[in-house]
Structure 1
Amino acid sequence: MNRAYLSIGSNIEDRQDHLLGAVRALHAYESINVVEVSSIYETVPVGYTDQADFLNLVVCLETVLDAPELLSVCQAIENELGRVRKVRWGPRTVDLDILLYNNDNIESENLIVPHPRMSERAFVLIPLLEIAPAIRNPVTEKFYSEEEAVRDRGVILWKTVDGIGLLS
């Protein structure tokens, strides 16, 4: 069984519905079991800043899928939930990113794991550390809790969720 951590974000209304729809869609796949869900956090956009604020969360899941298969599922869910890719880092109904997959270091044309920018992004690290406080970067062995981005005060707890209870 493989363990993966995914970041999910949305900044097109209804942001919370899009997030929870993505979590439920992941859990509905026969080969995926969502085992942990972080609280929901609100952040200002990064990169392309002329857009609405984001809601973000992180999920931990177990799956028999390999990483490229999991990426395909994530992209299918994005499409099902109406994701349109017009502007890089632009507005989106939902964005699913594979942050970590086991302790693997993956570099392919379509997928890089650990996610290449996650150590710089508080909106990823803070929810990740909520559900996995002692997690380390599998490449550097450094604790993610030691990253400078964790001290970013721009990530605001938006809503505490009842973990996987929201799936029912």
Structure 2
Amino acid sequence: MQDNSRISTALLGLGGNIGDPVAAMSSALQMLEQHPDCRVTQVSRLYKTPPWGKTDQDWFFNAAAEVETTLSPVPLLGLALGIEQVNRRVRAERWGPRTLDIDILDFGGLVIKSDQLTIPHPRMTERAFVLMPLADFAPDFMVNGKTVREWLGEVDASGIEVADESRDWWRNPDKDMKGG
């Protein structure tokens, strides 16, 4: 990274369920890793999860990552949205199918509420598909007064499966794990 004096840690949630979502998430993490202002420091295992919100669609693949960055929150959001576009993300339907979704779950413990960005992510504590991957490397991370582990104990995680035990799954995207 370019300027070590202002490094922040961001927690990201990644997911997708159309096309090759594992390759899209792998591409996203590699693009973050190659960006001069970012470094991927931790990645969860890869999970296969039932759809949430809009349930008449294919299952998702989900993961979480920790990224150190010299970017501030809004430029990091811009980078994430650009990476989604490179991976052909189309925002046609809320909670609908997507090739790739990148959410900023937390950014250095900041609380931000704006039209562009809300941190911590407003629904992360309700979603096992976010909490379970995050618990792989940050079970004691505090969100709204409780740890990720405590929040995970309060949500329905039924149906969620580990798709890849390796936390390096994103470095080897050639495995055949297409959604469906």
Give the alignment's TM-score, normalised by structure 1.
0.93
Find the counterpart in structure 2 of residue 114 from structure 1. Answer: 120
Q: Is the 8 A contact 1:6 1:58 kept in 2?
A: yes
Q: Is the 8 A contact 1:10 1:94 kept in 2?
A: yes
CA distance in 2, matches of 1:40, 1:166: 12
- 3-state secondary structure, aligned to 1:42: strand
Match 1:145 to one of 138, 141, 149: 149
Identity across the alignment (%): 38
AA matched with 1:163 = D
Change (3 A) 1:11 1:22: same
Q: Is the 8 A contact 1:2 1:62 kept in 2?
A: yes
Moved more, 45-54 or 70-79: 45-54
Find the counterpart in structure 2 of residue 26 from structure 1. Answer: 32
CA distance in 2, matches of 1:106, 1:163: 31
- Counting only pairs closer than 5 Å after superposition, residues 16-165 of structure 1 correspond to structure 2 as 16-137=22-143, 140-147=144-151, 148-149=154-155, 152-163=157-168
AA matched with 2:161 = I
List, as ranges, runs of 4+ consecutive aligned residues in structure 1 with deviation greater than 4 Å: none
**Residue 163 of structure 1, CA deviation:** 3.4
Find the counterpart in structure 1 of residue 3 from structure 2. Answer: none
Moved more, 99-108 or 155-164: 155-164
How many residues align? The count is 165
Unaligned runs of 5+ in 1: none
CA distance in 2, matches of 1:42, 1:167: 17
Please give the per-residue CA displacement for 1:81-128, whole angstroms capped at 9, x wherever unaligned: 000111111111100000010111110111000000000000000000
CA distance in 2, matches of 1:34, 1:16: 17
Q: Is the 8 A contact 1:8 1:56 kept in 2?
A: yes
RMSD: 1.7
Find the counterpart in structure 2 of residue 166 from structure 1. Answer: 171
Give the alignment's TM-score, normalised by structure 2.
0.87
Please give the per-residue CA displacement for 1:119-158, whole angstroms capped at 9, x wherever unaligned: 0000000000101121111xx3211211202x52221111
AA matched with 1:44 = P
